[in-house]
Structure 1
Amino acid sequence: MARRALPTTAAAFTAAAALLLTGCGGGDKSSSDDIKGADTGSSSPSASASDAGRPDVSVPKDLNLVFDFDQPSDPKQAAALADAENYLRAKFHGIAAKDPDDPAYQFYSDGQAKQYVKSQIQTWAKGDWTPTGTDKYYNAETTTLSGGKRVLVTFCENQAKAYSKETKTGKVLRGKESLDSYLKQRLLMSPASGSSQVWKVQVTEVVGKAKECRV
């Protein structure tokens, strides 16, 4: 059985997001139901990821992360979406390294989102698995919240061809495509302290069996 992203609950996301938004003065009138826009990406790290001061987010050669996003016209949304990609790369970088304290994911996350990635890394490390195959992300939507201080990024994920591999034996644990292969993710993001160029994920929600993503 392939090891996949561990779902979080909508209630957990709502509670954590509410605390974050309350702390920064609340949100604007935008709704996550009104999110429009996406970003084009590829399986290679974005140009911004190679900028000075940013960590290495490379992943194993046999793991292909595909970001089929369109570029938002809003600069803040575009920057947030680019670093949402880096957050996902950083997660797999830490999983492959089996390092729960890997600096890459910590650079792109805080709070609940950082704890979520750490738990993912610990789970994979405990099973002695490493990721392989193709993980596809698509149908990205972005919306600005809190008067421009936050961006909510929503997208689908198809894990049908993403697998785990036993580190010791090299055996790939393949699973059949099903509704379990499709996830919906929401990332609540804000600029890193002291930087207008780096966006960090504060809260993450992963919902399994996402029928709307099965296209």
Structure 2
Amino acid sequence: MAFDTWLIFVVTVFFVSATPGPNMLLAMSHGIRFGLRGALPTMAGLLLALGLIMSGSAAGLGALLATSEQLFSFVKYAGAAYLVWLGYQAWRAPVSERMDSDDDGVAAVSNWQRFRTGFLVAMSNPKAFVFFAALFPQFMRADAPQMPQLVVLAGTFYVIESSWQVVYAFGGAKLKHWITSPLRQRMMNRFAGGSFMAAGVALSTVSRA
């Protein structure tokens, strides 16, 4: 593809990834709870799901979801329910008297649990499959080999998306040192829980278009 076309893709993805959504919100909330290092398994789950979504879109799953109302609705409502449940958990999360160490709370939630949560949150949005199926072709040349172009686009998206996840998790880790009182912890739990539940409700209203 032309270099200027790739630059347009970079700018597009930069702002799309920067927009706060369930993935970035989860990276930030786990950064708050577990610190930047403790949020790495969460980000690994998010990025693995992202890779599967891009692969599925390239294989035609995005087009299938775009044409099958029943399949799209099933994935949509299952994902919305999971986000609402995750929000409820965050809302009711217990608070502690002190949050001084980056290791606080990490032992209580295993790497596998954090990885699984990241994976399920990223996979919960069927719109992502349709998004990639619609986005990538806009920047690809039909008269050139498709696979090298897909690799370049997917790799670019991966780098930008993972960079923003690190930014959000790092910001959350910095906030952790500010949230030292039970009142502030409770306020952050309410914010994170309410945001996840709002994202779930919003997801339940999206259409294939």
TM > 0.5 fold call: no
TM-score (norm 2): 0.29
TM-score (norm 1): 0.28
Relative to total residues, which structure has the larger helix share, 1 or 2? 2
The higher radius of gyration belongs to: 2
